[in-house]
Structure 1
Amino acid sequence: MYRLGVDVGGTNTDAALLDERLQVIHTVKVPTTKDVESGIFEAIAKVVQESRIEPSDIGYAMLGTTHCTNAIVERKRLNKVGVIRIGKPATTAIPPFTDWPQDLREEIEGASTIVSGGYEFDGRLISEINREEVLKFCKEIKGSVESIAISGVFAPVNKEQEENVSIWVKEELGNIPISLSNEIGSIGLLERENATILNAALMTTGQTVIKGFSKALSNLDIKAEMFFSQNDGTLMNAAYALRYPILTMGCGPTNSIRGSAHLSGLKDAIVLDVGGTTSDLGVLTRGFPRQSSLAVTIGGVNTNFRMPDILSIGLGGGTRIFGLDENFTIGPESVGYEITRKALLFGGDVLTTSDVVTRLGHAFEDKAMQVDQLSIELCNNVYKKMTDMLEDAIDQMKTSSKEVPLILSGGGSIIVSNSLKGVSEVVRPKHFEAANAIGAALGQISGEVEKVYSLEGISREDAIHHAKKLATEEAIKAGANNATISVVSVEDIPLSYLPGNALLIKVKVVGDLVGSGVKII
């Protein structure tokens, strides 16, 4: 059975086919379309046609997409959300949606309430939940909201109250989409609540993505099992993606990181993914993207759910150059997917970074005549400044002064020099231009848990064992084969500011797809 990987970027949509041994069969790149879906269809149709394989031989289809990110950035296609916080009287001073950007709040906020309940850090009860408070709120919002977000004080420690409130909401509102904070964010009520609200707001967008991908496959007679890229470099099945669409945010760079690891054979390196608009840098650690340890702002909202540690700079293959003298500036504006129409080397009238490297003989030798008029001195100066920008970004991602390998991915990486400060070697693996689609197709499933334990009634070893068990259960729900699951990382952090010998434990596990028969090293 073949694997089909598709990754949608701001400039291009890439597709890749891998065989049962995870060897790359064929890759294609087509411009991303305004409606996105037609670009996905075109990429899949092209890779199938050019590879000459039978559609019925494709067993797995994986999609990495920017739909959810775009929905929040553009403030479009978002659900109206009813928010229930379980935390009265402890948390009434700061209501839900505090410090949100006004335009995003207006787009998402349906109604919110704070009801009685909540737990202490060790799971002890603060106050009981009140069914009547919940049902009263549900009657008030019936018909005016499209999804529900439920968050409770220290819900990651004890999820019982959130689950009970969810049952009551369904009894009153029927089969409405519900997001629970204990399943999405980590410790920290407001940030976890924000992430849960955003997840609830993305429910319709998530459904649209899944239906669109399913339709594209069906129209091409591909009866493959669908999976969707998460932002930790792993996959989730369609049912899991419907519940947690927010986990697709930031999956593009992580797909490139995973794909680069597979193509290069390196497990520890910096990955530079250069597209038409931006250069995204991530760190490869033991074959997976390094996760950010900082709170993540999404669309102007502070959240605390997992996100990759990615640095983006406004430099890509389509980045515009302004000025033809020593006072030139580089970007951040880009011609994006219109590069084949607007850049000088393609007969356009806009000076881009691709024109500069073409004039210097680094790329597009067959288009050199189109940029003969450019000054070599100017192009050298622009290229030096581009290289300085990349070296500064690489330095920011490193944790020591030691030189590290740099793996290039993305079609825009033609603008990158073969010699960079702080880099031991620049690696351009075969098929590097489609590393994002290859990363999407690799197909491992993850499960992750972050939970606070009080060691007064349990040993550290038993607490870690319990967290591993919970993470394994999450991986299985997302589509992993239980027999292949292995632990990727375990962190235990003493919380000295809390009483009772509290310990924060973070566990991540990964496993292969059910029925894949291929062990990914």
Structure 2
Amino acid sequence: MKYRLGIDVGGTNTDAVILDESLNVIESTKSHTTPDIETGIYNSMKTVIDHSGIDPNMITHAMLGTTQCTNAIVERKNLAKVGIIRLGYPASVSILPYTAWPEDMVKVLSGKYSILHGGAEYNGNPISDFDGNELRQLLKDWRGQVESIAIVGVFSSIKPEQENEAAAIIKEEYGEDFPVSLSSTIGSIGLIERENATILNAALHNVIQRTANGFAQSLIHEGVKNAKTYLCQNDGTLMSIDYARHYPILTIGSGPTNSIRGASYLADSKNAVVLDIGGTTADLGVLVNGFPRESSIAVDVGGIRTNFRMPDIISIGLGGGSIVTEDDNGDITIGPESVGYQIEEKSLVFGGKTMTTTDIAVRLGKSDVGEYQNVAGISLAFAQRVEDKIQEIIENAIDQMKTSSDDVDLILVGGGAIIAPKQLQGVKTIIQHPQGSVANAIGASIAQVSGDFEKLYSYEKVQREDALNDARSFAEDQAVAAGANVSTLELVDVNETPLAYAPGKTTKVRIKVVGELN
């Protein structure tokens, strides 16, 4: 028998599950996320392995969904010193790198950048010739001052050759192991947003190395020595640890997508709205053909505007630990403040002194956690008013995610799901599963590996079929590099967007493929 181990680190809880060969959950646990993250991961891992009684050597795949990269950006901690090389001189100098960035972030990343000769027009013609000697002189000046480099070529999504040439020179000068991020492999067409995403990817080098190494060491410490290791991506799929070391930015937003994929599996549904209520926040996403719907607009990450792929998620300050208050006018406030992982110390049902949404759920008879007598003094009328407020918050959020006025199916997951009302306007059916509290860890465990490729093609120069086959080939290469079994690859999405402002029937082609774990 072979097993999978899935772990998901949230702001309040770290969940872990073990699945058998048929993807049945044989053991699960939910424990508090610790300040150092790694301890919580190890605690959850040890608990499920000990309770399941399986031989750790029989675990063949181990998956981790983590918020560490997101937290590093938001908190401005543990980020690498980044040097930015933009290929596009003399064009593109009117808007410099780091434009509109928060000042504290620029200071943390060193603020070093240079605009060198190179880059391409929208049709692939060069803006100016790339100069390797110019780059070598810059690298000589930067030596010892940067820990990672982001290379961003104007329209490199059409012509990536200059970025590749620049990367080769950096490896010659600084060594093969020096981290280099190429914008042509990370973001979409727009220069500034793509540049921003590439800078963030470069900045996360130290964080992802520590995360990957810590995960591997925790596995070995617990006797899991034969498992292939993966990190969760933000499109609901997985990538190998080695691939993640090069593309840490793809882990940002992976927590909600794990829950969406886990919800899809538990509910056996491929099209629905998913509501994941945790201890501090609730995340809403949409399942489309079994995968999370992606955002169609640029997304801010830690105050920085980017255009790499991100899930279409709404987060609201509502969770099982959300604090409930009433002012002198009788107005009720729920969250966004939360007792978080301290719920078993501070919530009324556990003997604390802070009223939370969990206390209200127990008072209304929706849950039996803690001690009921501790909340018996809350008036039923007040508790009902709080639930009405919770219902209003959730219904408004669901309405924002809908693309039509039709009622939708709602899959309800997460440890805080006990606070949700039994009926919601705009919702046809509410689906819950007994293992929904660990849907995020399940989503990490059952995920496939994906490859995603985007490029501009002129349909006057290239036949449409040839363009689609070319893009699919690159997407498949990415999937295999990320850890997919080549014989299991299948096409899941084709998106063609004509660009009216560009001549030659220029079309943006985006291809996504998925495959099973290697």
Could you say whether these structures have the same fold, taking a TM-score greater than 0.5 normalized by the shorter chain as the test?
yes
Matches within 5 A, 1:323-342: 323=326, 326-342=330-346
SS at match of 2:476: helix
Matches within 5 A, 1:310-389: 310-323=313-326, 326-364=330-368, 367-389=371-393
Query: Residue 268 of structure 1 is aligned with which of 267, 271, 275?
Result: 271
Question: How many angstroms apart in 2 are the aligned matches of 1:350 and 1:131?
Answer: 63
Matched to 1:64, the amino acid is G
| 1:296 correspondence with 2:299 | yes
Name the structure 2 match of 1:444.
448
CA contact (8 A) 1:154 1:189 kept: yes
SS at match of 2:93: coil
Deviation string 1:174-226 (CA, Å, 9 cap, x unpaired) is: 23100000010010011000000000000000001001101110100101110
Question: How many angstroms apart in 1 are the aligned matches of 2:341 and 2:370?
Answer: 21
Name the structure 2 match of 1:517.
none
Matched to 2:217, the amino acid is K
- Report runs of 4+ in structure 1 exceeding 6 Å deviation: none
Question: How many angstroms apart in 2 are the aligned matches of 1:484 and 1:14?
Answer: 29
CA contact (8 A) 1:324 1:378 kept: no
Quote how far apart the aligned CAs of 1:430 are: 2.7
Name the structure 1 match of 2:253.
250
Quote how far apart the aligned CAs of 1:443 are: 3.2
Deviates more, 1:418-427 or 1:38-47: 418-427
| 1:395 correspondence with 2:396 | no
Quote how far apart the aligned CAs of 1:109 are: 2.8
CA contact (8 A) 2:132 2:169 kept: yes
Quote how far apart the aligned CAs of 1:171 are: 1.5
CA contact (8 A) 1:88 1:117 kept: yes
Question: How many angstroms apart in 2 are the aligned matches of 1:324 and 1:159?
Answer: 59
SS at match of 2:416: helix
SS at match of 1:193: helix
Task: Give 5+ residue unaligned stretches, structure 2.
Answer: none
Name the structure 2 match of 1:188.
190
* Aligned-pair Cα RMSD in Å: 1.0
SS at match of 1:355: helix
Question: How many angstroms apart in 2 are the aligned matches of 1:324 and 1:120?
Answer: 60
Name the structure 2 match of 1:77.
78
* Change beyond 3 A, Cα 1:107–1:260: same
Number of matched residues? Answer: 514
Matched to 1:189, the amino acid is L
Quote how far apart the aligned CAs of 1:170 are: 1.6
Name the structure 2 match of 1:404.
408
CA contact (8 A) 1:118 1:125 kept: yes
Matched to 2:341, the amino acid is Y
Question: How many angstroms apart in 1 are the aligned matches of 2:210 and 2:241?
Answer: 12
Quote how far apart the aligned CAs of 1:365 are: 5.7
Query: Residue 219 of structure 1 is aligned with which of 214, 218, 221?
Result: 221
SS at match of 1:39: helix
Matched to 2:200, the amino acid is L
| 1:233 correspondence with 2:236 | yes
Deviation string 1:286-329 (CA, Å, 9 cap, x unpaired) is: 10000000101001111000000000000000000122662221
Deviation string 1:419-471 (CA, Å, 9 cap, x unpaired) is: 11111111111310000000000131000011111122111111111111110
Question: How many angstroms apart in 2 are the aligned matches of 1:403 and 1:443?
Answer: 28
CA contact (8 A) 2:15 2:44 kept: yes
Matches within 5 A, 1:31-70: 31-70=32-71
CA contact (8 A) 2:8 2:255 kept: yes
CA contact (8 A) 2:496 2:509 kept: yes
Matched to 1:509, the amino acid is V
Name the structure 2 match of 1:513.
517
Quote how far apart the aligned CAs of 1:330 are: 1.1
Matched to 1:196, the amino acid is T
Question: How many angstroms apart in 2 are the aligned matches of 1:351 and 1:228?
Answer: 37
SS at match of 1:468: helix
Question: How many angstroms apart in 2 are the aligned matches of 1:272 and 1:51?
Answer: 29
Quote how far apart the aligned CAs of 1:366 are: 5.5
| 1:285 correspondence with 2:288 | yes
Name the structure 1 match of 2:107.
106
Question: How many angstroms apart in 1 are the aligned matches of 2:193 and 2:42?
Answer: 37
SS at match of 2:294: coil
Matches within 5 A, 1:448-463: 448-463=452-467
Name the structure 1 match of 2:206.
204
CA contact (8 A) 1:80 1:108 kept: yes
CA contact (8 A) 1:263 1:430 kept: no
SS at match of 1:472: helix
CA contact (8 A) 1:122 1:453 kept: no
Name the structure 2 match of 1:137.
138
* Change beyond 3 A, Cα 1:58–1:365: closer
Name the structure 2 match of 1:519.
none
Identity within the alignment, %: 52
Quote how far apart the aligned CAs of 1:122 are: 2.6
Quote how far apart the aligned CAs of 1:165 are: 0.6
Matched to 1:305, the amino acid is F
CA contact (8 A) 1:110 1:144 kept: no
The two structures have a TM-score, normalised by structure 2, of 0.98
SS at match of 1:50: helix
Deviates more, 1:119-128 or 1:237-246: 119-128
Quote how far apart the aligned CAs of 1:418 are: 1.4
Matched to 1:76, the amino acid is K
CA contact (8 A) 1:453 1:505 kept: yes
CA contact (8 A) 2:267 2:411 kept: yes
CA contact (8 A) 1:280 1:313 kept: yes
Matched to 1:218, the amino acid is I
Quote how far apart the aligned CAs of 1:500 are: 2.0
SS at match of 1:411: coil
Question: How many angstroms apart in 2 are the aligned matches of 1:418 and 1:21?
Answer: 32
Question: How many angstroms apart in 2 are the aligned matches of 1:312 and 1:234?
Answer: 21
Question: How many angstroms apart in 2 are the aligned matches of 1:512 and 1:157?
Answer: 30
SS at match of 2:479: helix
Matched to 2:442, the amino acid is I
SS at match of 1:133: helix
The two structures have a TM-score, normalised by structure 1, of 0.97
